[in-house]
Amino acid sequence: MLRELTLHNDVKQIELLTEFIEVLCEELGLDAMLTFNLNLVLEEAVTNVIMYAYPQDEDHTMTLKTWTEQSDNIIVFELKDQGKPFNPIEEAPEVDTTLSADERQIGGLGIFLINKIMDDVTYRYEEGSNILTMKKNIKA
């Protein structure tokens, strides 16, 4: 089961993404919390590309591929863009969730949530593409 979605670098495209994830989760029989959290992860990842990978005034695309592994136990999302090289795992600011409101910094929350929700997140830069791969055990 391989599915693919192409999105432009425009926040309005989040609507298409949400629909794509909801249909996928329904077909996999995932519960409301997992569906909600996967939606959040993908929105954060896609928004990052929209905001940072390309100049705002240029039209570009990114591709989201998704499939399952190990008899549908693991769901994999692979997000690929041809924007400027950016490793969100290493370059995002650290988030300390124990701090008070005053001390909390504004950045890094999106990547933090991706790492928190997914079981395995890897980044590679290959042949001019940023490739972010995110895996989650959906039967645990």
Q: Which helix (H) or strand (E) holds 27?
A: helix 14-28
SS (H, E, C) 53-73: HCCCCCCCEEEEEEEEECCCC
14 contacts 47 by C-beta, under 8 angstroms: yes
- The alpha carbons of the chain give a radius of gyration, in whole angstroms, of 15
What binding mask, one character per residue, do residues 49-88 give for another protein by CB under 8 A, x or -? -x--------------------------------------
Q: Binding residue for another protein (CB under 8 A) from 104, 119, 124, 139?
A: 104
Site for another protein (CB under 8 A): which residue of 56, 101, 126, 127?
Answer: 101
Interface residues with another protein (CB under 8 A)?
11-12, 14-15, 18, 32-33, 36, 39-40, 43-44, 47, 50, 95-102, 104, 106, 109-110, 112-113, 116-117
